[in-house]
């Protein structure tokens, strides 16, 4: 794994850090490969229950793909079929928290929106600036913005390319919380600790259920939710939860 992507595990929580602060954590093809590998490790682990994604340094979470690398693709088709780091994060089965410190631009914004929960430092800024260079985003930009902030706000960001500050991102629903920069990672860790304490199968099922809620008609999404609830209800963890409730104690979940 390249040093430009750091992967650490502390207990049940994994942290993926984009570690190229001198370039605003812009992602290279080598970094994309490392992200794919880190996601696969998280998905294969029975002990990792939550994943935090962040960027190194104080200036930026991620400025998207390194534009200087884009001309290395021999054809537009090769560019289109490259390993995509946004796809990798969407493939994570475990709950994900994005701690956005500073700029989240282009693919960095798409990456943040590919996570389940987003919290931001008070100096964070968000933008879809691709239009300023002659193209648009391709990592889920329009779809995620539409679902997150509505059609008019999405159009404003996509068609101007201008950034919005953290307080506007909060007001629009793009992030859940704003905290001082020094408190960003501790707050992300606190949320991750809570999620990791919950029944892991239920947490992963809740994530799958949220994806279905976005992509399915309402009646089918509710039907799917009921099926997922039934699957959870049949697990040993659910039996432990019911027993703990009756015995007035905290449940101990073991991913069963």
Annotated catalytic residues are 110, 130
Question: What does the alpha-carbon distance between residue 16 and residue 59 come to, in Å, rounded to a whole number?
Answer: 17
CA dihedral 219, 220, 224, 229 (to 10 degrees): 0
Contact of 88 with 52, CB cutoff 8 Å: no
Q: How far apart are CA 202 and CA 239, in angstroms?
A: 12
Please give the helix or strand (H or E) that residue 120 lies within, else none.
Answer: strand 117-121
| Residues 189, 192, 193, 199, Cα dihedral to 10° | -170
| Cβ neighbours for 63, distance < 8 A, ≥ 6 positions apart | 23, 24, 25, 26, 103, 105, 106, 108
**Among 14, 17, 16, which Cα is nearest to 195's?**
14
3-state DSSP assignment of residue 112: helix
């Amino acid at each position: 794994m390249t040093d430009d992507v750091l992967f650490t595990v502390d207990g049940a929580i994994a942290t993926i850090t984009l570690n190229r602060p001198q370039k605003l954590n812009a992602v290279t093809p080598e970094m994309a490969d490392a992200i794919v590998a880190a996601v696969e490790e998280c998905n294969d682990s029975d002990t990792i229950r939550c994943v935090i994604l962040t960027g190194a340094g104080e200036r930026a979470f991620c400025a998207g793909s390194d534009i200087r690398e884009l001309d290395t693709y021999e054809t537009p088709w090769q560019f289109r079929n490259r390993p995509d780091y946004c796809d990798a994060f969407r493939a994570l089965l475990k709950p994900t928290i994005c701690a956005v410190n500073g700029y989240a631009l282009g693919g960095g914004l798409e990456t943040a929106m590919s996570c389940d929960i987003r919290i931001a430092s008070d100096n964070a800024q968000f933008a879809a600036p691709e239009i300023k260079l002659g193209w648009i985003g391709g990592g889920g930009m329009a779809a995620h913005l539409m679902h997150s902030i509505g059609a008019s706000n999405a159009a404003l960001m996509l068609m101007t390319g201008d950034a919005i500050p953290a307080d506007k991102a909060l007001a629009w629903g793009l992030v859940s919380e704003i905290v001082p920069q020094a408190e960003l990672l501790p707050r992300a860790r606190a949320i991750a600790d809570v999620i990791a304490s919950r029944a892991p199968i239920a947490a992963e099922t809740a994530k799958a259920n949220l994806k279905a809620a976005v992509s399915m008609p309402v009646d089918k999404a509710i039907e799917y939710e009921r099926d997922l609830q039934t699957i959870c209800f049949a697990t040993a963890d659910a039996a432990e939860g019911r027993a703990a409730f009756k015995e007035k104690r905290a449940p101990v979940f073991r991913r069963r």
